[in-house]
Amino acid sequence: MLNNEPRGRILSTLVTLVVIGVLLMTFDVRLDGGGVVGVLRTGTQTLVSPLQKAAAVVVNPVADAVDSLSNMAGLREENAALRNENAELLASIILVQDQLARLELLEQLYDLETAGDELGRTVANVIGRPDAFDAALIINKGTSDGVAIGQPVVDANGYVVGTVKNVTGGSATIVPITANRQALTVMVGNQIGTLLAQPNSHLMRLEVLDARDPVLADDRVLTSAVSANYPAGLPVGIVIEDAAPSIDSLRTFVDPFVDPDTLRLVVVLAWPPDPVSVTEDDTAIPVESTTTTETSTTTTTLGGGG
């Protein structure tokens, strides 16, 4: 009996202490304003907070970079869309300009064709070149339209282009003055000179022999009345630099009014007038001579027989 009593007291004391400890813990937790869940939450937050801060340091720049890349991709798409829109607008502008150029060309064509019969003009379109290395032009009018070799050619403004070199029934080849090896006789003021084409240059060299007066920049150069290939007074070009006579001649350069590479419409002038009739008269002369010779031969034979 004595042995069992101390053990019972110890057990009772232990149970009492455990109960008191639990009560004290519960009381302390309640005084802090939270339950067990709150304590666990507080402890978890304490442990996780440094990890959250470290993650924020690493993750936030990455997130910002991803956002920046997304924004850059969006800006690139917008820029591409704007470029496409600009290209479409530019194409529309070019189309309108081309239509305006065609309208102007048709207006010029109508005006020239209206006056063509009275002025002896044949309006033609430039349809190409003989080859990529040839400066000559091919037009869509030929002998069936009254075009003949040697006739002068001007543009819609009346500026000199060149002369007809070859002709077929439905087309003709034009040699521009800037590619012609023959000199062109011109007038500068009251002085007669010659224009010569320059290799690999659109400028032409002006030479005035027996020059009496200087030639000034911006002086207009016209075809001369003594020219064998053009009627007088057609505009050719403009002097680009002053030149004074040296002894009895001068030289300078002229910028032609016409650029053959940009021509789309030309006018062939019937000059000299009625070249077809002249050709027919020239052809008729040998026929008459042959007939006369045959008659003379026949007469001589008859005479011999008498």
Domains of the chain: 120-275 (2.40.10.340)
Percent of the chain with pLDDT over 90: 41
Question: Which residue would you say has higher pLDDT here, 85 or 64?
Answer: 85
- Unique residue bearing structure tokens 């027989």: 305
| 247-268 pLDDT tens trace | 889 999 999 999 999 999 999 9
The average confidence (pLDDT) of the chain is 76
User: What is the pLDDT confidence band of residue 271, given thresholds at 50, 70 and 90?
Assistant: confident
At residue 284, the pLDDT reads 34
Rounded CA separation 216/253 (Å): 11
Question: Which residue would you say has higher pLDDT here, 306 or 5?
Answer: 5
| 185-227 pLDDT tens trace | 999 999 999 999 998 889 999 999 989 999 999 999 999 999 9
**What residues does 137 pair with on adjacent strands?**
174
- Torsional sign, CA 189, 195, 198, 201: positive
At residue 33, the pLDDT reads 53
Looking at 120-124, 169-173, 246-250, 302-306, which range is the least confident one? 302-306
Say which amino acid occupies 256. Answer: P
- Unique residue bearing structure tokens 């304590």: 39
Looking at 39-48, 62-71, 176-185, 206-215, which range is the least confident one? 39-48
- Quickly list DSSP for 244-277: --BTTEEEEEEEES--GGG--EEEEE--SS-HHH
Predicted TM-score (pTM) above 0.95: no
Looking at 42-46, 157-161, 192-196, 211-215, which range is the least confident one? 42-46
Collapsing DSSP states into helix, strand and coil, what is residue 68?
helix
At residue 100, the pLDDT reads 73
**What residues does 186 pair with on adjacent strands?**
193, 223
At residue 286, the pLDDT reads 36
Average pLDDT over residues 296-305: 36
Rounded CA separation 127/263 (Å): 10
φ, ψ for residue 204 (rounded to 5)? Answer: -120, 145
From 88, 172, 69, 78, select the one nearest 125 (Cα to Cα).
172
Residues in the chain: 306
Given a cut of 70, is residue 303 above it in pLDDT? no
